Amino acid sequence: MLNDGVKLCLAGGVLGAALGYLAAKMLEKRKAEETCEVLFFPDVSVQTFDRKHFSQPSFKTSTNMEIDGGSSLAKLLHYLRSSKRSIDVCVMIFTCHEFASELIKMKKSGVQIRVIVDRNNMDAPGCQIGRLREAMIPVRGKAQSSIMHHKFAIVDSSMLINGSFNWTGSAVFANNENVVISNHNKLVEAFIQEFNKLWKFHAL
């Protein structure tokens, strides 16, 4: 017959094994849910701006231009469209009509959107800031003499989109650009803090 000490040891061993199993399962689930992807431009999505239609598979921008569903542009739009609550955008220059249309469409669906741009580029040819403000999307220009050179966006305070990519047509179809997508907590939180700092101290 087992004494109380042995029973406690056995119970502790079983409990420890159970906790270890649960911890391993939680870690496995978290890894499975992690997002880490790199997108490169230009790619076949360049054709979207020439209004060439693709059929395998079909993916459309907000203005119903069909694009290759496996392209970097389609993937980038997919991540942006995954937003349920908010999108914060911080880019040096914003001239791409399609990206502005995407944000305006999401704004109408109830997503809260904020945009920060470099003030010196707010009058650039094709700048979309006027359209965004007409749609009641708040935009602020960073007030300093040097360049606001960031190019990132935060989706639902949980997904980071960051790289060399300004929101311009040239970035999509001409320039060599990179975009990193990540939901790593520490990375996302660092960019949230940076965005909020710029939003607070550099209002236009």
Q: Which of 75, 142, 150, 151 is catalytic?
A: 151
Tokens 């047509």 belong to 169
Other Cβ atoms less than 10 A from the Cβ of 174: the count is 13
- DSSP characters over 18-45: HHHHHHHHHHHHHHHH--EEEEEESSGG
Question: Cα(29)–Cα(35) distance, rounded to whole angstroms?
Answer: 12
Catalytic residue among 78, 108, 149, 197: 149
200 counts as catalytic: no
151 catalytic? Reply is yes
User: 43, 60, 107, 156: which one is catalytic?
Assistant: 156
DSSP string, the chain: ---HHHHHHHHHHHHHHHHHHHHHHHHHHHHHH--EEEEEESSGGGGGGGT----SSEEE-TT--EEETTSHHHHHHHHHHT-SSEEEEEES-B--HHHHHHHHHHHHTT-EEEEEEEGGGTTSTT--HHHHHHTT--EEEE-SSS----EEEEETTTEEEEES--BSHHHHHTS-EEEEEE--HHHHHHHHHHHHHHHHH---
Active site residue 149: yes
Give catalytic residue positions. Answer: 149, 151, 156
